[in-house]
Chains A and B, each alone.
Chain A
Amino acid sequence: MNTVIIKYNAGNTQSVIFALNRLGIEPEVTGDFEAIRKADKVIFPGVGEASSTMRYLKELKMDQLIPELKQPVLGICLGQQLMCAHSEENDTTCLGIFDQEVKRFIPEQKEKVPHMGWNELFDTKGNLMKDLPDPNVYFVHSYYVPVNEHTSAKTNYITPFSAAMQRDNFYAVQFHPEKSSAQGQKIIQNFIELCD
């Protein structure tokens, strides 16, 4: 089992590495295309702003690599947003794995943006979400993916949105499983144990 975390200008990947370490996994953090293609599992983390991150991915030609990967790929937070077609955040064309528009939260009744803290998953389906000990996971984000045909878990904040999505070998979560206590750990474990 070889798990790769895609290395690019994505802010902090250390907590994802540590979460894998807690499961006894030593991930390889690399930007090398061959290593990424050969990996059993690929994690695509992301914290930061969409347009500058996409620009960086394009410079590295990762915008071509990532959508063509065949093994299970897990996008986290900004990773999920970048897997969509387009983001309202600085009008950014994204990777197009999920044919969705990423939108900014618009407060209706003085709700705060970013959506920060623990919130519940509901309508969960698929292997990634199985056997969770608790529905609460940790979110920090100002943009969201609307509910769509690929949604595998929903959360309510101002509006129901896609807390998780799946299409073929591509998995994505808006929350931070690496910071979501035992249930987050279970989701990462579920991803690692996926076989396709």
Chain B
Amino acid sequence: MESLAVFVLSEALDLADGDQELFLTLANLFMQESPKELAAARSALARQDARGLAEAAHKLKGSVLPICAPRLFERAQRLELLGRQGEFAEAASVCADVESCLAEVHAALRNVIAGGFPS
């Protein structure tokens, strides 16, 4: 699992058809939206709401696709599955993983937004 990359800029750019401006828009949108989904997942977990957890994890997972962050995608996918199965104990630990992965991705995106694209 650790072997998965945090964020692959070249692939993300490729997904945006090489459009750097579009990618920056998507990155900003992601940084704005993803904390909401994480919060929604945490709150669902706290009230043992399996369906709410799966839906929040699913939405987060979806938003990760265009950003191209494989490790976060894998964790969010796992969290969605556990939510569906109502495995709250393991879900709590995976949710913590999601949070730290998300922080890594945010950091990487901030770098790109601040520092621009490698030529």
**A joins B in a complex:** no
